[in-house]
Amino acid sequence: MGQTKLDDRQTEAVETVEGQWLVISGAGSGKCVKGDSLVLGNSGLKRIDEFGKESCELKSELPVFDLEKRSFRSGKSSHWYKLDKSPVIRIETKSGFSITGTYEHPILVLNEKGDLEFRRLDRIRTGDVATLAFNTQIFGDNRVGQDMAYLMGLLLGDGHAYKGTIGFSKWDVRVEVLFRSLIRRLFGYENIKSCYRKTDPKRHSVTHHVHSVKIKKKLEGLGLYLGCGASNKVVPHSILSAVKEDQVAFLQGLCDTDAGVHGLTFEYSTASFELAKQVQLMLMNMGVRTVFTEKMVKGVMYFRLQCMGTALRRFSDQVGFRGAIQKQERLEKAINRPANTNVDVLYNQRYRFKRMRKDFVGKPWWDAHEQRVIQPKMSLKDYFGGRRNPSRQRCFEVANLIPDNEDARYLIDLATNFWFDPIKKIIPIAKKFDVYDFTIPDTHSFIANGFVNHNTKTLTHRVGRLIQKGASPSEMLVFTFTNDAANEMKTRLMAIVGDHIQTLNVGTIHSQLNRMLRESIAMWKPHMR
């Protein structure tokens, strides 16, 4: 499953065109994900069901993962598929990352030997280690402007709308000053009216009103809808496809309103499940790992993103707060405290550490008796025995002692490119859903919901290549094993071979044999007595 290139026999199968052809789809050909999966591409984050209406040829730049080189790079899709409703299964990690796809859909995992491999969703078990794309730093090219993006973040956090009026509710003098100056500078609007009221003896609230249909429509044109209710809020499309500095400004506005630092923990809270998931992926793209949790408050479900330790420091470096000065001060105080790295670890590396130990022998910095590095001081014996998992930082420190060692290079690639997150839940879904897929030539991978996903390759392109090289579609039999798989295969092939699908024989083995039997009976019947 981890194979990224065709072997000699597969290459021969794809290149040979003489004679008649029998092409069989085995189990696992239908690799697809649910439509709400967020795909990371060079145009930002985009739902996979928004790339088209029907299966089609699609030239889109996407970050891909090269398993052989253990690195991400830019690649291009050749096709996008919308496929029939299929049974799906949902997996969720300990940190709350999740993906829903067909049972045979493969994602990248870290196996029991500490190596990367693709594994089908129906073969994943709780405790298996998902491999999430981390700190990819891939953004769109849309430019909203940092001031506009920050304003949109403020309004998505604490804004609302009714008819031609926008309201912003926030009791923070510094944030209020920023809000007023941005409305004036961006729209030339001066007449902001503020309504103050006392909610209880110790608390006050204030709402700043902007009565302007023009401003409301401008913001809606950017994808900011404020009248949909708190549970239906989403990141505006103009932000998901924006350049990094605009995404950062938007997150600062959102955090100035709906996030805070409590002790050593950053926490963002929202009533919108989809918004929380989008923000989690935006932060992950910037190298900020957060944990997604749910909390019921006065009968309302809230979704929280939290981070601490090294992730909190990363949040401070990449995002931070802009107008909420007290929050920024608490953040700076928190990051100056010692960080716990126990959650940022690489799993299943004992075999790799044991192999690397062979290159430690004879080095002046290695104490073989104590199983430790003398300078810098590092005890490694618990890693050799698998009693502890090394932190990301420790992996870099150990690997850099023997940089020419292949296992050391592998370890550096793991620590550089991924976040490793154990599977917490596996949930078969009773309802069937439309599912979607790409064809990505060469690497056969794409990033969705933070997971590295494997896409379809051999069968459909075998048929397409045959027709391209002059083979007759009517001389081919394309077999699969179930009706659902046959219908899915027709959809994929239609996107590749076009009108040739009309003369191509595609179906289950039973249906094709039944068809041939009926045709044979019809041909011989006039000669039978």
Taking only Cα atoms into account, the Rg of the chain, rounded to an integer number of angstroms, comes to 27
Q: What is the spatial distance between Cα 393 and Cα 399, in angstroms, rounded to a whole number?
A: 10
Q: What is the spatial distance between Cα 126 and Cα 148, in angstroms, rounded to a whole number?
A: 43
Q: Are 41 and 133 in contact (CB under 8 A)?
A: no
Please give the C-alpha separations between residue 502 and each of 17, 103, 278, in angstroms, as whole numbers: 20, 29, 41
Q: What is the spatial distance between Cα 219 and Cα 160, in angstroms, rounded to a whole number?
A: 12
Token output for 23: 């092409």
Which residue in 172, 469, 446 sits closest to 323, CA to CA? 172
Strands of 20-60 (E only): list them: 21-24, 33-34, 38-41, 44-47, 56-57
- For residue 79, what pLDDT is reported? 86
- For residue 201, what pLDDT is reported? 61
335: exposed, middle or buried (C-beta count within 10 Å: 0-12, 13-18, 19+)?
buried
- For residue 194, what pLDDT is reported? 85
- For residue 1, what pLDDT is reported? 43
What are the strands of the beta sheet with 300-308, ordered from one edge?
Answer: 259-262, 265-270, 300-308, 291-297
Q: What is the spatial distance between Cα 259 and Cα 241, in angstroms, rounded to a whole number?
A: 23
Strand partners, 210: 166
The helix (run of H) or strand (run of E) holding residue 378 is strand 378-379
Conformational region of residue 386, where left means phi above 0, alpha means psi within -120 to 50, and beta covers everything else: left
Q: Are 432 and 87 in contact (CB under 8 A)?
A: yes
- For residue 514, what pLDDT is reported? 75
Q: What is the spatial distance between Cα 38 and Cα 48, in angstroms, rounded to a whole number?
A: 6
- Tens digits of pLDDT across the chain (529 residues): 444 455 565 566 556 555 555 555 544 455 789 999 999 998 899 999 999 999 888 999 999 999 888 989 999 998 898 988 999 999 999 999 999 999 999 999 999 999 999 999 999 999 999 999 999 999 999 999 999 999 999 999 999 998 889 999 987 889 999 999 999 999 999 989 888 776 666 666 788 999 999 999 999 999 999 988 999 999 999 999 999 999 999 999 999 999 999 999 999 999 999 999 999 999 999 999 999 999 999 999 999 999 999 999 999 999 999 999 999 999 999 999 887 767 799 999 999 999 999 999 999 999 999 999 999 899 999 999 999 999 999 999 999 999 999 999 999 999 999 999 999 999 999 999 999 999 888 788 999 999 999 986 555 556 666 666 666 766 676 666 566 666 666 666 665 656 666 676 766 667 767 777 777 777 776 766 5
Q: What is the spatial distance between Cα 443 and Cα 439, in angstroms, rounded to a whole number?
A: 10
Token output for 173: 């003098």
Token output for 220: 């809606």
Q: Which residues contact 48 (CB under 8 A, 6 or more apart)?
A: 33, 35, 36, 37, 38, 39, 436, 438, 448
Q: Give the type of residue at 19.
A: G
Only one residue has tokens 């889109």, namely 60
160: exposed, middle or buried (C-beta count within 10 Å: 0-12, 13-18, 19+)?
middle
19: exposed, middle or buried (C-beta count within 10 Å: 0-12, 13-18, 19+)?
exposed
Q: What is the spatial distance between Cα 243 and Cα 149, in angstroms, rounded to a whole number?
A: 11
Q: Are 100 and 88 in contact (CB under 8 A)?
A: yes
Strand, coil or helix: 260: strand
Kindly give the pairing relationship between strand 418-439 and strand 445-448: unpaired
Q: What is the spatial distance between Cα 415 and Cα 155, in angstroms, rounded to a whole number?
A: 37
